[in-house]
C-alpha cells in the first residue's frame, strides 16, 4: 500500500479510487478462489491470503517505481492504466495455480481415504469371518 499511501499523502486525485479497485480485486480473487470445492478450508484460506498479499505487494512496488520519481507523482497518462491491470492478472493466475495445486491434493487425499476405507472393510470382513469360525467351534 506504499503507492496508495503516497498518493493519499500527496492528495493526488484518484487515490481513493485506487483503494476501491484493489478491494474489488481482492473480493473477486477470494470469490473465485472459493468457487472450487478443493480450495475450501482454513489452511488453504491462509495460503491464499498470504499469496495474494505477496502478489499485491509486488504490484504495489512496481506501481511505486512506475508512478513516483524521487517520491513525486509522475502522470503517465492513459498508458499508465495498463500498469494497474497487473494486479488482476497476477491474482487471476494465482487463483488458477492455487486451485490446481489444491485440486490435485484433494484428489490424492480422496483416493487415499478410499484405499483406507477399503482396507478397513476388508479387515472387518476378515474379523467377522474369524469370529464366526470361533463361534462354530464352540
What is the average per-residue pLDDT within 62-82? 84
23-43 pLDDT tens trace: 999 999 999 999 988 888 899
Task: Classify residue 78 by its DSSP letter.
Answer: G
Query: Is the pLDDT assigned to residue 110 strictly greater than 90?
Result: no
In angstroms, how far is CA 10 from the centroid of its own chain? 33
Q: How many helices (H) and strands (E) does the chain have?
A: 5, 2
CB 27 within 8 A of CB 93: no
pTM over 0.95: no
What is the average per-residue pLDDT within 90-110? 87
- Which among 2-11, 19-28, 79-88, 126-135 has the top mean pLDDT? 19-28
Q: For the chain, what percent of residues have pLDDT higher than 70? A: 99
Domain boundaries, given as residue ranges, for the chain:
2-103
Q: What are phi and psi of 14, to 5 degrees?
A: 100, 0
How far apart are the C-alpha atoms of 87 and 32, rounded to whole Å? 15
Task: Classify residue 1 by its DSSP letter.
Answer: -
Residue with cell 513525486: 72
Amino acid at each position: 500500500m506504499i503507492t496508495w499511501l503516497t498518493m493519499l499523502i500527496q492528495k493526488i486525485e484518484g487515490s481513493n479510487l485506487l483503494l476501491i479497485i484493489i478491494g474489488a480485486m481482492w473480493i473477486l480473487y477470494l470469490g473465485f478462489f472459493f468457487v472450487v470445492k478443493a480450495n475450501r478450508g482454513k489452511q488453504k484460506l491462509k495460503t491464499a491470503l498470504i499469496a495474494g498479499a505477496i502478489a499485491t505487494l509486488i504490484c504495489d512496488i512496481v506501481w511505486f517505481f512506475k508512478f513516483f520519481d524521487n517520491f513525486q507523482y509522475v502522470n503517465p497518462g492513459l498508458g499508465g492504466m495498463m500498469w494497474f491491470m497487473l494486479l488482476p492478472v497476477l491474482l487471476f493466475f494465482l487463483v488458477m495455480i492455487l486451485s490446481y495445486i489444491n485440486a490435485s491434493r484433494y484428489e490424492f487425499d480422496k483416493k487415499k481415504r478410499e484405499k483406507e476405507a477399503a482396507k478397513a472393510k476388508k479387515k472387518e470382513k476378515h474379523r467377522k469371518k474369524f469370529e464366526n469360525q470361533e463361534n462354530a467351534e464352540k
